[in-house]
Each structure stands twice: as structure tokens, then as C-alpha cells.
Structure 1
Amino acid sequence: MLSAENSDSISVLLVLTTALLGVALSPIAEVLIAKLLPRLGSVPRLQVRIMTAVLTAIACAVFALRFGTATILPAFILLAVLGVQLARIDFSLHLLPNPLVLLLLASGIILLLIASLFGQHADNMLRALFSMMILFAAYLILGLISPGAMGMGDVKLAAPIGLYLGYLGWTQLLYGGLLGFILNGVVTVLTVARKGRKNTAEVAHGPSMLAATLAVAVLLP
């Protein structure tokens, strides 16, 4: 049996290794996105690449700290890498590319399914799939009611976010969905105060959805 000191050392090593993995995967993701999706433009400037690498590393580290060596960690590393890239693109272009959203959804389903099989948590996977459909349907209704406030990219992103939150639990799904709107509301208010009401269209909802997912996944037990 490992001593408490050895266990802590392994945890620190895991967090640091996962953070370094995030640093390495971030620029690779940016190069592949620029190559495979040229309509999004070239690789971002150096300052942006450094920022996305740092954010990816932080997200990977906190997921490693939260889940340890659990079989769901690879799925959440994927969420960290692609989530930061989606937030970057949505923030700069007000666009959530279908290929990236679908990649996050399909890969998330596969990795969480593998995790549920190895961990014998089939109920978690069923809840994740139901949550995916529930959050997607909720966003779709909002998008149809108020298309000016909710884009179809946000509606599509709701599917993988619902998948991940639902895998963790119904409580995470509820709070994650609500927190996304709260964060976006705060950003909108700050934007109005700084730039005026005419600039509220500049507020991208995707980053708030992804930030809420990270916060709820890490902070709720």
C-alpha cells in the first residue's frame, strides 16, 4: 500500500504531466485546425497561442486534480484541448465550426463509453446520452424563440456539453446549464457598460458555456 506521501507525490506528478500534455497539444490543435479548416484563417499570432496553451494547461491540470487516474480523465483532457480552441474561435470569429463541435461530441461519446465500460458505470453513460439530448433540445427551443440571442452554433455545442455534464450527474447538468447563461449575462452587462448597447452582438456565448462546464465539473463533487 502506498504511503500518504507517495500518493501525494504521484498526484502532483500526474497534474504536472497532464498540464505539460495540454501545453503540447494546444499548438498541435491550432496547426491542424488552420490546415484542415482554412476558412478559419491561419494559425493565430504568438500571444494568442501562448494564452491558449496556458489555458489548456490549466484546464488539463484541474481535471487531473479533480479526477486523478480515473478512466474518464482522457475524455476531459479532450474537452480541455478542444474546448479552449472552440472558445478562442468563437471569441474572435463568433463561430463554432461544425467539424470541431462534432469531433468533440463523437470523441467524447467514445471516450466516455470506454470509461463507463471499464468502470462498470453504464448508468453514467445512459444519463450522459439523455443529458446530451435534453440540453440540445433546450438550446434549440431557445434558439428558435430568440434567434438573435442564441446562434445555431451554441445549440450544437450544447450537445457535447450536455454529454459531459450528464456523465457526472443530473446536478452538474442543471448547474452547468444555468451557470453558462449567468456567465454570459455578466459578460454582456460588462460589454454594454464598456462599449454600449449596440455592441452586445459581439458577445460570444460559447466561451461562457465551456467555462461553466469546467467550473461545475471541477467544483461539484
Structure 2
Amino acid sequence: MLSAANQDPTSALLVVCAGILGGILSPIAELLIAKLLPRLGETPGLQARIATAALTGIACGAFAAHFGNALSLPAFLLLAVLGTQLARIDMALHLLPNPLVLILLAGGLLLLLLPGLFGKQSDDLLRASLGAVILFAAYLILGLISPGGIGMGDVKLAAPVGLYLGYLGWSQLLYGGLIGFVLNGIVTLLVLSQKGRNKATEVPHGPSMLGALAAIALFFG
């Protein structure tokens, strides 16, 4: 995970700068979300803002440590910022706002054009595009079969998640998709053990999808 930082003396500075950038962009994102999407309510409380900023900074620093100065790093920094916000909103409101999901998808695709065009990684870009279609289609089928288990917000989020997983590789796409369900199952079991069966439906699936993506990117990307 930290191989890039160990090989390049300047990577430590990159990691620190990326972490600071994530911590700064987090509250800015929250303010913009509250202003542009008023139906989500006001900005979260101070503790939630601090926790979200810290998590975003850690994620940005971890991606910088893993990818170094690769052309794909900006795409993963976007994932860290918007992915953390989507997870926070889903946990609080059980909602994945379409505009944020679309920005993550379109922004991720545009930023992944950098390595695709300038890094001669067109195969990775094609695989990323196919990954978005494949995972979206898989979630759509599951959502139609079991609407109580998979919501349409999760189906839409599958597109950007599949984009990033597909960029990393076919195996990453497969295992990332499966790990998301495993994580959600574990969280659901914990909720069942703590609050009873009637609370199981309150477990959001989005954070597990995003958590699985982050884990695959950092440890198997």
C-alpha cells in the first residue's frame, strides 16, 4: 500500500498535501451540498463535520501513498471526497442523491481520461467504462428481483463504483462487487444483534459499496 511513498522521497510531502487537501475540501463539499441540495437539510453537526473531514483526509492521504504521482490520483482524490460525503448522507438519511452520484461518475470518467490519453492506458479506460455498465446492470437486476434489499440509489451508485473497480482490473471488479455485499451483511448482522430484526432494513448499502471499493483500490489496486 505504501510502496510509492517508500520509493520516492517526495511522496511523503505528496501524502501530507493530499491529506490536508482532503480535510479542506470536505467542509467545502458539505457547504455546497447544503446550498445546492437543500432537501438534504443543513450541514451536519460539528462532530460529524470533524469526523467526515478526518476520514476524507485519511482517504486522500492513503490514495496518494498508494498511487503516488500517477495520473490516476486526481480521480481517486475525487472518489475520497465525494465517496465520503455519499457514505455520510446515506448513513444519516438512507439516501444517495442523484447529482452527487452523477458527479462522481462523470468526474471520475473525465479524470480517468488523463491516464487513458496521456499515459497510454486506453485499455484501462475501456475496462473502466465496461465495469460501470456491468456493475450497474448487475445491481439493476438484483434491484428488480429484490427491491426490498437493493434500492435504486444503490443501483445508480454501482455505476461509478464499477467505473473505478473496472479501471483497477477485472478481478478487482468481481471481488469489489462481492465484498460490498459481504460488508453489508456483516453490518446487518451487527444491527440485528444490537437492535433487533425490525431494524435490519435501516442498514444502508452505499457505505459498504464505497468501503469495498476503497479497500480494493488500496490493497489490490
TM-score tier, shorter chain, comes to over 0.9
Mark the CA change 1:87 to 1:6 in structure 2 (over 3 Å): closer, same or farther: closer
| Structure 1 residue 8: Cα displacement | 4.3
Alignment size in residue pairs: 217
Whether 2:17 is the aligned partner of 1:17: answer yes
* Residues 125-156 of structure 1: per-residue CA shift (max 9 Å, x gap): 00011110000000000000000010000000
The TM-score, its normalising length taken from structure 1, stands at 0.96
User: Where does structure 1 lack aligned partners over 5 or more consecutive residues?
Assistant: none
The residue number in structure 1 matching 2:90 is: 90
CA distance in 1, matches of 2:17, 2:7: 15
Taking the TM superposition and a 5 Å limit, the aligned residue runs for 1:59-138 are 59-138=59-138
- Provide the residue aligned with 2:203 in structure 1: 203
SS at structure 2 position matched to 1:194 = helix
SS at match of 1:9: coil
Residue 16 of structure 2 is aligned to residue 41 of structure 1 = no
> What corresponds to 2:57 in structure 1?
57
Aligned-partner Cα distance in 1 for 2:131–2:7: 34
User: 2:112 & 2:130 partners in 1: Cα distance?
Assistant: 14
**Residues 6 and 162 (structure 1 numbering): CA distance in 2 closer, same or farther, change over 3 Å?**
closer
* RMSD (CA atoms): 1.2
Which amino acid is the alignment partner of residue 141 of structure 2? I
The aligned amino acid for 2:170 is W
Change in CA separation of 1:28 and 1:197 when aligned onto 2, cut-off 3 Å: same
Match of 1:186?
Answer: 186
Identity percentage of aligned residues: 66
SS at match of 2:43: coil
1:87 maps to a residue whose letter is: A
What code does the residue aligned with 1:86 have?
L
What is aligned with 1:146? 146
TM-score by length of 2: 0.96
Q: Cα gap change, 1:126/1:8 in structure 2, threshold over 3 Å: closer, same or farther? A: closer
C-alpha displacement of 1:64: 0.4
